[in-house]
């Protein structure tokens, strides 16, 4: 009887250890950034952030925790204490995908906009603090707006993407150049066909009675395709996350 008891106890202990190991293998992928990635309320539909579509590309061992928010910049995201709880929760092996730039460039809004020098400092701080928790930062340049002029796609982000690339290079941080990837996508589709990727809504919509022509924020289709470009970047960088892709 004693032998059976110890066998059962040993088996139970092993099962618990295996369960604990399985739980420990789960990875969180945090997204911090602005409205182009953010989760949207029902009243904003069909506007969709690319972060909402990212989970569908992963198996169950990766959880996408999308903390991106409308209107935020590297400055306001921290000032509003949005970063603090993420940093507190970070575990070794987690990832933080950092995509800012859309609002940092709004220097006419002091609570949000930042100079290029401050943008650089802010990105460096996010990277170093992420690494202090033995987690992995990944920098992303901002996605392109649908800003065609006479059939030519125009850049609307100034030098902010360049600073993101510079920080990635100087600190040896993996970079997914979303500006380049989305510009390529928009140019490939062309001015009119690319409308389907953005929040264009006819009048009479329950959320947009007067219609909407938004060349910054994405449609469900746009969010899916842009999330797919993020996944492409993960593969190109050969991040460990690649093992968890479907």
Phi first, then psi: give them for residue 200, nearest 5 degrees: -100, 125
DSSP character at residue 207? S
* Sheet strands (E) in the chain: 27-33, 62-66, 95-99, 136-140, 148-149, 152-153, 175-176, 198-201, 212-218
Quick one: tokens of 59? Answer: 């198996």
Confidence at residue 152, expressed as pLDDT on a 0 to 100 scale: 94
Torsion of the alpha carbons at 119, 123, 129 and 133, rounded to the nearest 10: 160
Q: What is the pLDDT of residues 73-91, one digit of tens each?
A: 999 999 999 999 999 999 9
Q: Is the pTM of this model over 0.85?
A: yes
In which band, very low, low, confident or very high, does the pLDDT at 29 lie, cut at 50, 70 and 90? very high
Residue for token digits 């400055």? 75
pLDDT at 21 over 80: no
Confidence at residue 1, expressed as pLDDT on a 0 to 100 scale: 45
Pick 86 or 19 by higher pLDDT. Answer: 86
Q: What is the pLDDT of residues 138-174, one digit of tens each?
A: 999 999 999 999 899 999 999 999 999 999 999 999 9
Please give the span between the terminal C-alpha atoms of the chain, in angstroms, as a whole number: 47
Q: What is the pLDDT of residues 101-138, one digit of tens each?
A: 999 999 999 999 999 999 999 999 999 999 999 999 99
Q: For residue 216, give the nearest of 162, 158, 142 by alpha carbon.
A: 142
Which domains does the chain carry?
A: 27-244 (3.40.50.1110)
Confidence at residue 8, expressed as pLDDT on a 0 to 100 scale: 46
Confidence at residue 22, expressed as pLDDT on a 0 to 100 scale: 43
Confidence at residue 136, expressed as pLDDT on a 0 to 100 scale: 98
């Amino acid at each position: 009887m004693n032998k059976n008891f110890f066998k059962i106890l040993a088996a139970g202990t092993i099962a618990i250890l295996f369960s604990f190991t399985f739980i420990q293998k789960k990875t969180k992928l945090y997204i911090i950034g602005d409205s182009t990635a953010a989760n949207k309320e029902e009243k904003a539909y069909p506007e969709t952030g690319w972060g909402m579509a990212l989970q569908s590309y992963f198996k169950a061992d990766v959880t996408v925790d999308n903390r991106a928010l409308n209107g935020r910049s590297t400055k306001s995201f921290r000032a509003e204490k949005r970063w603090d709880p993420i940093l507190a929760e970070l575990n070794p092996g987690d990832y933080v995908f950092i995509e800012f730039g859309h609002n940092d460039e709004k220097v006419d809004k002091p609570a949000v906009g930042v100079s290029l020098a401050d943008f650089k400092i802010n990105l460096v701080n996010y990277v170093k603090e992420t690494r202090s928790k033995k987690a992995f930062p990944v920098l992303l340049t901002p996605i392109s707006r649908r800003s065609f002029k006479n059939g030519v796609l125009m850049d609307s982000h100034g030098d902010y993407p360049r600073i993101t690339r510079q920080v990635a290079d100087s600190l040896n941080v993996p970079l997914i150049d979303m500006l380049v990837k989305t510009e390529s996508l928009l140019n490939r589709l062309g001015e009119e066909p690319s409308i389907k990727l953005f929040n264009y809504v006819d009048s009479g919509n329950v959320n947009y009675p007067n219609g909407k022509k938004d060349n910054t924020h994405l449609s469900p289709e746009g969010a899916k395709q842009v999330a797919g470009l993020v996944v492409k970047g993960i593969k190109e960088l050969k991040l460990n996350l690649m093992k968890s892709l479907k």
